[in-house]
Amino acid sequence: MILILVTFLISALLTLYFSRPNSVLQILAHPNERSLHSQPTPSTGGVAIVIALSPWHITMPEIFYLCLLLIFIISFIDDCRHVSILYRLMVHFIATCLLLWQGEFWLTDIILPGLSWTLPPFLQISLSCLFVIWMINLYNFMDGMDGFAAGMGIFGFGTLAILGAEHQLFMTLNLIIASAVAGFLVFNFPPARIFMGDTGASSLGFLAAALSLWGNREGIFPLWIALLIFSPFIVDATVTLLRRLLRGEKFWLAHKSHYYQRLVQIGWGHKRTVLWEYVLMAACSISALIAPSLSIEAQWTLLVGWCLSYIILIYLVNKL
């Protein structure tokens, strides 16, 4: 408990310091045609989050820390000065290969309620690699509204911690991450005084992917439960990407067509939109927590119910 509190305080104090104009580390996110904010805002909150995690790196597998460091460095450079998407993806690929190198965190089986398929070796590594790289980038795509990415971090890693309550190391690491994000959220909740930037979003995306694969391999939960937890981000980012691909747009460029961005633009504003997103995140987390205790039939009902719910939500946002 003390460790969690210390992490929260380090993150909150560093975030407060970085949010001030006289901070020694002053990187500003300037408004442009693709952003939702109207004033230049510090974007170094992710640095505060990662620094708050650093003293407790012994709680995570050594390879996690090395990969996180690589992603942190390229993302920090990108926050300071734009880095080509090609170079960023190259570093993401290298970090992912390092994570998966020894096969400890590969996705070896596709597990659904009452069903299991062992994947051929080629698909094990390729799907695992694709999953990690996509999670790194989709989390970054979804960090475009006050309090949004941080809220997903608290709900997401907090839920993973509860699911892994019998796995001390896994639970502790997730609680530390959630507390570091919570310290940042104090100053990022609408109206935000600071953003987490690519440094924070990409780092959290990597950790979400790595911990999901770790929990799956340890038998703590099947991967579909982790996907359900982070589905508010996964569904929005994936559907938006597919929609842009079908339209022939340059999907790698920043834009304002995610569903949460569209809600802000039609007049909901940051606070109303993020609070309703929190309701969605909470519902996903509760569903994930009760899923393991349900029968196979009930788990399938839950999965189908969420698929239908997202279809309805997408329809309603389009209608608005």
Per residue in 116-170, pLDDT (tens digit) is: 999 999 999 999 999 999 999 999 989 889 999 999 999 999 999 999 999 999 9
Lowest mean pLDDT among 15-24, 109-118, 210-219: 15-24
**CA 319 → CA 246, 262, 279, 285, 312, distances in Å?**
20, 11, 20, 27, 10
Range of lowest pLDDT (16-30, 127-141, 266-280): 16-30
* Whether pLDDT at 72 is above 90: yes
The amino acid occupying position 291 is A
Write out the binding residues for Mg(2+).
Answer: 140, 198
Q: Is the pLDDT of residue 38 over 70?
A: no
Domain boundaries, the chain: 2-109+120-319
Binding positions are 140, 198
Distance CA 260, CA 282 (A): 16
Taking 80 as the threshold, does the pLDDT of residue 255 lie above it?
Answer: no
Percent helix, strand, coil in the chain (nearest 5)? 70, 5, 25
Burial 175-208 (b: 16+ CB within 10 A, else e): bbbbbbbbbbbebbbbebbbbbbbbbbbbbbbbb
Residue 40: the pLDDT is: 80
Give the least confident one: 37-46, 167-176, 261-270: 37-46
pLDDT at 219 over 70: yes
| 290-315: average pLDDT | 96
* pLDDT at residue number 24: 81
Residue 243 pLDDT greater than 70, yes or no: yes
Compute the mean pLDDT over every residue in the chain, rounded to the nearest whole number: 91
Q: How far apart are CA 141 and CA 133, in angstroms?
A: 12
Indicate if the pLDDT at residue 257 is higher than 90.
no
